[in-house]
Amino acid sequence: MAASRYRRFLKLCEEWPLDNTKWGWDLGAFLRERVAQAFREGESTQISDPETCDQIYDSLARINSNFYRYKYPRLRDTSFTEVTVEECRMVLATDSLTQMEEAKKGLWKKLKEKFSQKNTEEGSK
């Protein structure tokens, strides 16, 4: 029985899209890691709580199939801020977030980091 659960989770991982713009915090990559941890022994892994495992699978499968998107359709594809889906993806990309973090830093922090990096480089020579 654990073998069929393992195969279902593997199929779900294959279907779940990876977002290469979100390094380190992509849901698809996280899902793959957790499945690998939970099923370390592959098909021979013993499941301690099969009901919970099935519930988790069913929930993830509903999210992946856009069940709730079709059950509760939206009138428009924007939020209250009038930001489109593509604009949200662009803002939430890891590159954009790191640029925003850099912009948030004050002048003092930027100078401090710059000179601390130079000092460590000179000390290592």
- pLDDT tens digit string along 10-26? 999 999 887 777 667 77
Answer whether residue 106 shows pLDDT above 80.
no
- Domain-terminating residue out of 39, 54, 73: 73
Q: Are residues 6 and 63 in the same domain?
A: yes
**Torsion sign across C-alpha atoms 62, 65, 66, 67:** negative
Q: Is the pTM of this model over 0.85?
A: no
Q: Are residues 8 and 38 in the same domain?
A: yes
Q: Are residues 7 and 67 in the same domain?
A: yes
CA distance 74 to 7: 34
Calculate mean pLDDT across residues 55-72: 93
Q: Which residues contact 84 (CB under 8 A, 6 or more apart)?
A: 77, 78
Per-residue pLDDT of 40-50, as tens digits, reads: 887 777 888 88
Range 15-42 burial, b when 16+ CB lie within 10 A, else e: ebeeeeebeeebebbebbeebeeebeee
